Structure 1
Amino acid sequence: MAVTDAAIDKIKDMIVSGELAPGARLPKEADLAERLGLSRNSLREAVRALALINVLDVRQGDGTYVTSLEPRLLLDALSFVVDFHRDDTVLEFFQVRRILEPSATAMAAVNMGPDDIEDLRGILDALPDDPSVEQLVANDLEFHQRIAKGSGNTVLSSLIESLSGPTTRARIWRGLTQEGATVKTQEQHLAIYEAIASRQPDVARAWATVHVAGVEQWLRSAL
């Protein structure tokens, strides 16, 4: 194992064990290096690597702190990796969406409060009567992200948000090339909303599955 990797593991162990809690300040560099049996250079490399994935926050002139370790923050690194997807893997992203989003939608039907449901309806109402493909896709992204957040599971919400980017271009492509795609999307969004608003998680799950699977099926044919 590389020296830097070992240093990363030792700092991670301190965090996982609770010795360094979220928001805690790391000991001074010289003290921590001696305690962990590391060179100061190795420790700096480890801190730099952990800062890149939002585990540590280096504050110039103040010190180094453990971040809040919230899933949204930690999964930013996943978003960075996902941005490097190739066009031939976009179908796999839809497959993952088909697994995750129906569950999130069912959870939202149970967990969303009245104000959250009203906000969800507001997203649908904000779409113009004759939207452009770009307006529809932007509305679609906002709608699904709001549902994911409404699931009450921050990890699930962050994962779904991270996976949205690679599917955006395919959604636009479908809107431009498939006849009736705009109307079908709006109808299915309304059905999902009504299932959530009426507290029917199984129905909400079913409509979300139909919605995502429909785009996936079209993409398979198009490819």
Structure 2
Amino acid sequence: MSKKPRILVAECMQEISSFNPLQSEYANFHIEHGAQMLVQKGINTGLGGALAVFDEVGFEPVLTISARAGSAGLLSRPGWNRLMGEVMEAIAAEAGSGIDGVYFSMHGAMGADGELDPEGYLLTETRKLVGPDVPIVITLDLHGILTDRMLRQIDGLAIYHTYPHVDFASTGARAARVLHRLVTDKRVRPTIARVTIPALVRGDELITKSGCYGSLIREARR
């Protein structure tokens, strides 16, 4: 019997506003280690959706760490140093154990004192650990920012299509299916491109059922 592909699973999510004068701290994060992350199975989270697909296709999830915090101000420097250290320590502990792919659940709008692109940093360090040939696929909030540093490290991504957000699990599932293709068919070599649009959309128009942002999402899905 051939062995199951092993997928390293990690999560680090927070949305910040740099206009908030109060910094957030490590204590604001809910942390799950290893098997504790299985509490997200069957619920509407990106990780929950991805785990369901991994079960369906016969992938073995290698659970490392989940760190989630609500919207807040910039993460303090000590908070970021501790969080970053714990996330990378958990990933490093499994990265050398025969990993076939990486699923990383992120937001895209993190920010810390001294590191304004935490997602880019974490992805760069993860890439160093798993090597150039292991595919990395991420999920992002549609309010996230896809930086150059992030783009250089990933092989695929999926973003939320709804605001207010109701499609966490289906977004994680889409990312997991992309990762499934990359792992099982080595002929698949994705090209990732980013197009920036000079637009500033006000609150009500961001509502995807009724606003212009939703029209753009539906056009992009055609």
Q: Greater share of helix residues, 1 or 2?
A: 1
Q: Max radius of gyration: which structure?
A: 1
